[in-house]
Amino acid sequence: MTVSTNRPRIGIIGTGAIGGFYGVMLARAGFDVHFLLRSEFSAVAENGLRIDSAVHGQLHLNPVQAYASAEDLPPCDWLLVGAKATANAELAPLIAKVAAPGARVLLLQNGLGVEEQLRPLLPDSLHLLGGLCFICVHRTGPGAVVHQALGSVNLGYHSGPLFDDEGARQALVEEGAALFRLAGIESRAMANLEQARWQKLVWNVPYNGLSVLLRASTTPLMSDASSRELVQALMAEVVQGAQACGHVLPAGYAEHLFKVTEKMPDYWPSMYHDFIHRRALELEAIYVRPLAAALEAGCDLPKIRALYQALDFIDVHNR
């Protein structure tokens, strides 16, 4: 392995709210962080990145090691991909280009099957990991991110040279979690990425979808008896789907996330931002694949299916 483990070089692919927040936190902790940008390049190169965080205060990274083209990035040991899952296919060649030999590619995305989609497009020598971010952040303008609450990241190994070596594989995941912890971010290495993804779906399936369907943020959703029941019923179906697929989630996990959301500041999930900006909704990763996986395991999830069908109608008519 040629990756430098002392001071790994980190590349951020997709500097939206997620990439911007974690990138700035890592740079602030002394890591060598490089940002690949598209439409926001000039604004960030000129004014830097600003995080208005309710937890960490006002963070301003300036100058930023910002690039408009993947050709210009130095080879990176860790690549954090915070772009929409819908963009993975077009990102693959860029990732391959900026990856150092033996690099770790970490997909900070929600839903199921995002690594499966990207894997065949990447060189076999790269490690592919998934990360589930429990965080309330949103982009407010070019290079400007508001961080409202939370921030933890759960990591898991998906595929790559260490797939058959459980010990080494897990050590690499721990190495990733350690990076985040050094930057002041709670982070856990998960033994099973697929299970971690199902756990995160317990939050994403109800709140992302209902924010679009009901044009409502978390506070009104948590203040109305009918939407509370609907959230709980959808969470219960995700837990059921996970179980059918062989992932027994921690006891009381749905209730835990329900209570966490009650205490959160009012939050508009990312799918709502995609909706109002008439971007494609991440329905494939958050609804279609979990429904298909559960169904293949003999488990129908009727309320999630109905929610998906309604969202698909909305998505098609929204673009």
| SS3 at position 195 | helix
Amino acid at 168: A
Q: Measure the CA–CA gap between 271 and 307, rounded to whole angstroms.
A: 14
Strand partners of residue 147: 53, 137
The least CB distance from residue 213 to a second copy, in Å, is 6
Structure tokens at 271: 């799918």
The least CB distance from residue 111 to a second copy, in Å, is 18
Q: Which is nearer to a second copy, 172 or 285 (CB)?
A: 285
**Site residues (vs a second copy, CB under 8 A):** 210, 213-214, 216, 220-221, 224, 226-227, 229-230, 233-234, 302-303, 305-310, 312-314, 316-317
The least CB distance from residue 204 to a second copy, in Å, is 17
The least CB distance from residue 303 to a second copy, in Å, is 4
Q: Which is nearer to a second copy, 191 or 310 (CB)?
A: 310
The least CB distance from residue 117 to a second copy, in Å, is 21
Burial code (b: 16+ CB inside 10 Å, e: under 16) for 237-248 equals: bbbbbbebbebe
Angle between helices 253-263 and 193-213 (to 10 degrees): 50
Q: Which is nearer to a second copy, 1 or 214 (CB)?
A: 214
- DSSP label at residue 119: G
The least CB distance from residue 318 to a second copy, in Å, is 11
- The position carrying tokens 């001071």 is 7
Task: Establish whether 200 is a catalytic residue.
Answer: yes
Q: Which is nearer to a second copy, 106 or 242 (CB)?
A: 242
Q: Measure the CA–CA gap between 214 and 270, rounded to whole angstroms.
A: 14
Q: Which is nearer to a second copy, 136 or 301 (CB)?
A: 301
Residue ranges of alpha helices (H) inside the chain are: 17-28, 41-47, 88-98, 114-118, 166-182, 193-213, 218-221, 225-244, 253-263, 270-276, 283, 289-296, 302-318
Q: Which is nearer to a second copy, 189 or 301 (CB)?
A: 301
How, if at all, do strands 99-107 and 76-81 pair?
parallel
Q: Measure the CA–CA gap between 98 and 70, rounded to whole angstroms.
A: 6
How, if at all, do strands 127-141 and 144-159 pair?
antiparallel
Question: Which candidate in 84, 200, 259, 303 is catalytic?
Answer: 200
Q: Are 27 and 9 in contact (CB under 8 A)?
A: no
Residues designated catalytic: 200
